[in-house]
Structure formats: structure tokens, C-alpha cells
Amino acid sequence: MKLSELLDSQLIFTELESLEKERFLREIISRISDVHSSIKESTVIDLILKREKLCSTGLDNFIAIPHAKIPGIDKTYISLCISNNGIDFGSIDGLKTKILILILNPEETGNHHLEILKSVSSLFTKKNVINQMLNIKNPEDIINFIKANE
């Protein structure tokens, strides 16, 4: 399972403002539901925020991977978001999150989301990948960069 094959350039958002974590998540989910009308904004917000209350999805190396299983969708949606100033996501290394990968899976996908998480975490353990990606502004260029580094 390759991240580059799952990304949709319409769901890649760069140069985002640094907001408080919940406001940032709400803004991203609103943008996703604007692009894909099958995404029910209020449902996704509730499920993502519940997941974050259980345990922060902020990892190290400026990465966060909020994710949830969403009723009523029939495919996986992944949004990649870049905020060069960062968001306090409660990351394990204490650094602000600059790259956020939001994963929305259908309820009936079994452990499909674990394969995606594995793909994301293996790509973003490389600091040079993170540093280079922070400088890419075009969504198609981001997808091509990820494809070249998977």
C-alpha cells in the first residue's frame, strides 16, 4: 500500500496558518467536505476529536496522523496538510506538527488503516524527506515527491 496511490491532489493543503489543534482539524475537515460532499463534516469532526482525546496522534519529526473510521463513506480519503509554523499537537518529541496526514477510512475496512499508517510512518521517519517536503507548495509535486521516496 503506497501513500502516493491514495493521495488526491485536491486534498493536499499547503501554507496553512498555525492554529490551535482543534481549530486546525475543523478547518481541514471543512475543506475536505467542500471537495467531497459524501464526507459529513460534523460526523468526521466528532470522530476525529474523540480519537484525539483518547491519545494524541502527534508523532515525532513534525508529523501527526489523525485518523478514524467513518460511517457512510465507501473509500479511504487522505488529506496531507503543511503548516510551516506548526501546530501544537502534543507530539511525543514536544515539537510542533508541520505535516499532518488525516486518514478517513470506511467502517468496514478491517485493518486497512494499519497498512496506511505503516506506509506513512516509514516514509516520514526520514528527516531529509520532511525537510524537503516542507518546501514544496504544489500538490502534484508533493505526490511525485512522495512517490519518488516511498
Check residue 77 and give its pLDDT. 95
Give the number of domains in the chain: 1
pLDDT at residue 127 in the model: 81
Segments forming the whole domain that contains residue 76: 3-149
Q: Give kind and range of the element (H or E) at residue 47.
A: helix 41-54
Number of DSSP helices (H) and strands (E) in the chain, helices first = 6, 5
The DSSP call for residue 34 is H
Burial 22-57 (b: 16+ CB within 10 A, else e): eebbbebbebbbeebeebbeebbbebbbeebeeebb
148 is written with which cell numbers?
519518488
pLDDT tens, residue order, the chain (150 aa): 789 999 999 999 998 877 789 999 999 999 999 999 989 999 999 999 999 999 889 988 899 999 999 999 989 999 999 998 899 999 989 999 999 999 999 988 777 778 888 888 889 888 889 999 999 999 999 999 999 998
CA-to-CA distance for 78 and 137, rounded, in angstroms? 17
Q: Please give the grid coordinates belonging to residue 133.
A: 517536503
pLDDT score, position 121 = 84
Check which CATH number belongs to the domain holding 30 and give it: 3.40.930.10
Q: How far is CA 41 from CA 30, 51, 70, 127, 145, in A?
A: 6, 15, 11, 33, 29
Q: Residue 61: which of 130, 149, 116 has the closest Cα?
A: 130
Does the predicted model carry a pTM greater than 0.95?
no
- Specify the pLDDT at position 116: 86
User: Closest Cα partner for 24 from 90, 95, 87?
Assistant: 87
